[in-house]
Amino acid sequence: MNKETKRFRHEFDMLQNDEMSYYQQLLIRKYQPDVQHWIDRLKTEDFYEKNSTSKWHQTDNQKRWNMIKNGHKTNQTTDDINYYNDNPIEYRWNNYGFRTDDDFNDSQVGVVTLGCSHTEGVGHHYENTWAYKLSKHFSQPHWNLGRGGKGLDCAYRLLYAFDDFLKYDKVFLLCPSPFRTELFTLDDAFLNEFYKYPQDFLKKQKAPSSIFKSEEMNKGFDVVQFGSNIRELLKHTSLINSLRGFVQNKGAEFYFVDLHLFPHHIEEDLVSEKECENYSARDGHWPIKKQHLVYKTFLQMYEGIHE
């Protein structure tokens, strides 16, 4: 038996034994020989400054806040404005540049939260977010992998990238909006050309016309909005199932709800005034009550399984 045959049989045996991580190693070896560089890139392509704080973030910015205070394009009440004037938000970024008060480490078992700005908590005090409340309820470290403006591509990328580091027994996904696809390139040439003529790219598709580029993206990486409804339905379904399988293969529990499950003002009927404050987000994102409703929904799902 020659070396190539032996290698094939060895790799085939590994795959037959459901060694998914080994399959991923095969792909990395084929397409990106520097394994550690590849993994590190997945972790850090969109990180914010580590071990830092900031007053503003993404849509929750000074310009927008000044417009809100001056009564331009806002649903915020006077009480909302006074609340944030008296209690300004401080965004705290941990040792990997994620919004949580817990530094990532490989010794503690934490709770992972995945999603977009509603998970990251843009426009909210950290303590008012559904993700923080869940980690507090379980008295575990909070591994918050939520990223504003991102989709399921990002959720899978980050969970996979931190697989060799973070320990967890529960993962909660607030499924982001569709049509958020991540692109990786070796340099900016492709992305620059793409953004010159985005409509040429989309004109043959029934898709949202908006394509956005975050100012916080690093070289050779971006998030775009494109795709047909059918394609996105298949992509969403496959990524959710991939995340579920990935988590369950590690012996952890996986819970998810779609953010569209929470229509406008539904929280008014399902969250009482005694449960939490009822201010809007500073930038117009979901109000505190809806953040709390997500927390309650996930907790109810968890308790339903553990009765």
The model scores a pTM over 0.85: no
SS (H, E, C) 45-112: CCCCCCCEEECCECCECHHHHHHHHCCCCCCCCHHHHHHHHHCCCCEEECCCCCECCCCCCCCCEEEE
Cβ atoms of 225 and 205 closer than 8 Å? no
Pairing between β-strand 91-93 and β-strand 52-54 as defined by DSSP bridges: antiparallel
Range with the poorest average pLDDT among 45-54, 120-129, 221-230:
221-230
Predicted confidence band of residue 267 (pLDDT cuts 50, 70, 90):
confident
CATH number at residue 264: 3.40.50
Q: What is the dihedral angle through the alpha carbons of 138, 143, 148, 152, rounded to the nearest 10 degrees? A: -90
Residue type present at position 91: Y
- Cα distance from N-terminal residue to C-terminal residue, the chain: 55
The answer to whether residue 67 sits within a structural domain is no
Strand partners, 183: 222
Domain total in the chain: 1
User: What's the domain range around 291?
Assistant: 104-305
pLDDT digits (tens, 9 = 90+) for 81-140: 999 999 999 999 999 999 999 999 999 999 999 999 999 999 999 999 999 999 999 999
The answer to whether residue 23 sits within a structural domain is no
The answer to whether residue 191 sits within a structural domain is yes
Token pair listed for 80: 């909302």
pLDDT recorded at residue 106: 97
Task: Look at 226 and 285; give whichever has higher pLDDT.
Answer: 285
Mean of all residue pLDDT scores within the chain: 81
Scan for tokens 């914010």, then name that residue. Answer: 48
DSSP states of 185-210: -SSSHHHHHHHHSHHHHHTTS-S-S-
Range with the poorest average pLDDT among 10-14, 136-140, 203-207, 244-248:
203-207
The answer to whether residue 294 sits within a structural domain is yes
The answer to whether residue 78 sits within a structural domain is no
pLDDT recorded at residue 264: 79
- Whether 76 shows a pLDDT value over 90: the answer reads no
Q: What is the dihedral angle through the alpha carbons of 202, 205, 208, 212, rounded to the nearest 10 degrees? A: -30
Cβ atoms of 167 and 109 closer than 8 Å? yes
The answer to whether residue 96 sits within a structural domain is no
Predicted confidence band of residue 232 (pLDDT cuts 50, 70, 90):
confident
- Whether 225 shows a pLDDT value over 60: the answer reads no
Residues of the chain above pLDDT 90, percent: 51
Predicted confidence band of residue 186 (pLDDT cuts 50, 70, 90):
low
